[in-house]
């Protein structure tokens, strides 16, 4: 599925540890693949799932998660 204003293949290649989907309301979601986060990781600011109303914000959230990792 191609989202307006974004290339999902490029997004998946850039963030391979995440799965992407869009809700019926148009909200974009990314959720981590693999094992759930541990409490210490969550306390450090990592999130299992992030959401945004637009592609640019979603990418910024994912980049922030990479820095916190």
Q: Which residues contact 69 (CB under 8 A, 6 or more apart)?
A: 46
pLDDT at 26: 87
**pTM value surpassing 0.85:** no
The predicted-structure confidence for 7-61, as pLDDT tens digits, reads as follows: 778 888 899 999 998 899 989 999 999 889 999 999 999 999 999 999 899 999 9
Residue 2 has pLDDT above 60, yes or no: no
Least confident among 1-5, 53-57, 64-68: 1-5
Q: Which residues contact 18 (CB under 8 A, 6 or more apart)?
A: 12, 30, 31, 32, 33, 62
Residue 67: pLDDT above 50? yes
């Amino acid at each position: 599925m191609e989202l307006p204003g974004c290339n999902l293949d490029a997004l998946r290649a850039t963030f391979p540890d995440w799965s992407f989907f869009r809700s019926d309301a148009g909200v974009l979601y990314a959720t981590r693949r693999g094992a759930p986060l541990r409490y210490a990781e969550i306390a450090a600011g990592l999130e299992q799932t992030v959401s945004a109303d637009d592609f640019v914000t979603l990418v910024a959230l994912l980049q922030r998660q990479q820095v916190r990792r």
